[in-house]
Structure 1
C-alpha cells in the first residue's frame, strides 16, 4: 500500500530560495521525498518563470496567490488542504523590500500565513528590539508565528548570500566590505541555492526541528579570506572598485553603513555564543551534506545562469544614494 501524497505549499516559489527548494525536492533520490507534491504560489501564473515551474514536473502545481491579498492565499491553503493527504508543509520566503526601504508590507505578508519561515541570521536575539526595517519585520513575523498555538514551525536564518558578490553590484559590495569591516571580522555566508536544500532537510526531519531556529551558513571568512578563497575556486580575485568609492559609499549612505555595523555586531555576538560559526556549519551539513563553501561556490558560479538585473531589489544608484 502506497503512502498518501504529502503536499508542500511554497510561497515565493519563483524566487531564488523557493525555486531552490522545489529543485531540491524534484532532484532528490531519497525515497522519503518521492511522495512530496509542490503547490507553487505566484502572483502571475503566466510569467515565464511560473510557466517554467509548471513544466518542470507533474509534481508541481502553479497556483495564483498574492501575499498582499490574503483571500487568494487562504483559498490556496484551503484547496491544498483538501488534496490527497492534506497540506503537510509550508515554505515561505518573502522578498527583500530593498536597501533602506520600508518593510511593513513584508511584515504584513509574513503574518498572514503559516510556514517554515526563511528569516535572517542576526546573532544574539537579545538585540532584536533594536533592529530596523526588514530585519525588524522578520523578528515581528517570528514572534507572531511563535504566538500561534498548535502550529509546527521552524525558522531558517540565512547568512549573507554569496550571490551578493555577483556582477557590478558584487564588485562594489566586495570593496565596501573591505573598507568597512575590521580585518578580523568574519562574514557568515551561504549560497542561496543551498537554503532550499536545507529547508528540504528540515522537512525530512520535522520532529527534530520543530519549534527551532536554524542558522543557515556554509562558510565564515574575513574579507582577505574571501578573496583568497575566490582565487582558489575561480582562479581570479573577486571583482572590486577603487577603495575611495567604497569609502565614499560608507560615508554617504547610512543604510550601507548600518549594514556594515550590524555585520560587526553579528560577528562579535557569534564569537561570544556557544554556537560558533563552525558549529553552525556542522549543523547545516547534517541537513545538507553538500553545503557549499565560498571556494566551491566560486568554482561553480561559472556554470550558473546569469542573474536577472535588480534581483535583490538594489540598483547601483540606490546603493550609492540610499534612496528608492
Structure 2
C-alpha cells in the first residue's frame, strides 16, 4: 500500500509540530510527511528536514503558493490563528486553503478549530467557526478537532510562576479546561489513521479541568515552592490585554468549555495528559528562581 502524502500546516509551530511528532511516532500507519512553513530557511524548518519531513514554503495569504503546497497531497492538517493578523484575516486564510484543497482533490482535511466555536460570542472563536462552515460546504471529507485552552499557554507566565505567583482573570471556584498540545497531535494522527471512522466528526478536546488554585498547586508541587493564585479583575486585565482576550476570560467565568474527559477518552481510545503530569514533565526540572 502506497504511503499517504500528508501536508501539515504550521509545521514549525505548536500544533503542527505536535501533529508531525504524532505521525512520526505512529505505529499503525506510515506517511510521507510535508511540513508547510513561511520560511523554509529557518532553523525550525531545518530541524524538520533533519527528521525526514519535506519542507514546503508557502504563505496563507498567497493562493498560488498554497496551490503548489497541496498539489499531490492525500491528507491535509490545517491550523489557523488570529494572533498575527486578526480574526477576519484568519477566516480568509482558512477558506483560501480550503479552496486550494478542493482544487487539488485532497481526500481528507483535519482542521484544528476551538472548543466552543459554535457557542462563544468571541471574534477569534467565530472566525474558526466560519472556516468550519466553509469546509462543511466545500465537499471535502473533514474532521474538526476543537481543543480547549493549551497547557503550554502557561509558559507565557513562566517567570512569574517560577517566582511564586500565578495571576489570571479567572473567578474563584471557576474551573478552566486545558489540553496538552501533544494530545492534539495524537488525536489528529488517530483521525488520519482511520478517516472513514472520523470523517464528519467534531471532537472537543481536553485533558483536565482545574481552578486557579488547582493550577497553582500543581506548579507548587512540581517546582518545590509555594505558588500563590491571584485572581485578576477582568476589567483591569482588559486594560493590558485588550478586549478580545478579556472577553474570552469573561466567557470562561460565565460559561466556559464543556468536555467530558473520560467520555472523550472512551470515544477516541486516547489517555489524555493531566495537568499534573504535564507540569511534572515540563516544569519539575526547572532551576529555582534567583530570589529563592
Question: What TM-score do you get using the length of structure 2 for normalisation?
Answer: 0.82
Cα distance change of structure 1 residues 280 and 232 upon mapping to structure 2, 3 Å threshold:
farther
1:53 alignment counterpart: 48
Residue 175 (str. 1) matches residue 167 (str. 2): yes
1:15 alignment counterpart: 13
1:143 alignment counterpart: 133
Question: Aligned to 1:8, what secondary structure does the other structure show?
Answer: strand
2:78 alignment counterpart: 92
Corresponding residue to 2:92 among 91, 103, 108: 108
Structure 1 residue 287, shift from structure 2 partner: 4.3
RMSD: 2.8
Unmatched segments (≥5 aa) in structure 1: 82-86, 271-275, 306-324
Structure 1 residue 131, shift from structure 2 partner: 3.1
Cα distance change of structure 1 residues 221 and 39 upon mapping to structure 2, 3 Å threshold:
same
1:314 alignment counterpart: none
Contact 2:223 2:284 in 1 (8 A): no
Cα distance change of structure 1 residues 44 and 218 upon mapping to structure 2, 3 Å threshold:
same
Structure 1 residue 96, shift from structure 2 partner: 3.8
CA distance in 2, matches of 1:239, 1:203: 42
1:117 alignment counterpart: 111
Paired positions, count: 272
CA distance in 2, matches of 1:143, 1:282: 26
Contact 1:233 1:296 in 2 (8 A): no
Residue 278 (str. 1) matches residue 239 (str. 2): no
Contact 1:13 1:42 in 2 (8 A): yes
Residue by residue over 1:112-140, the C-alpha shift from the partner in whole angstroms, topping out at 9 and shown as x without a partner, is 124311111117x3x35x332x2111011
Residue by residue over 1:260-295, the C-alpha shift from the partner in whole angstroms, topping out at 9 and shown as x without a partner, is 11113443x73xxxxx533454247x3433x21000
Question: Aligned to 2:168, what secondary structure does the other structure show?
Answer: helix
CA distance in 2, matches of 1:244, 1:292: 27
Question: Aligned to 2:86, what secondary structure does the other structure show?
Answer: coil
Structure 1 residue 73, shift from structure 2 partner: 0.8
Cα distance change of structure 1 residues 27 and 296 upon mapping to structure 2, 3 Å threshold:
same
> Normalized per residue, which structure has more strand?
2
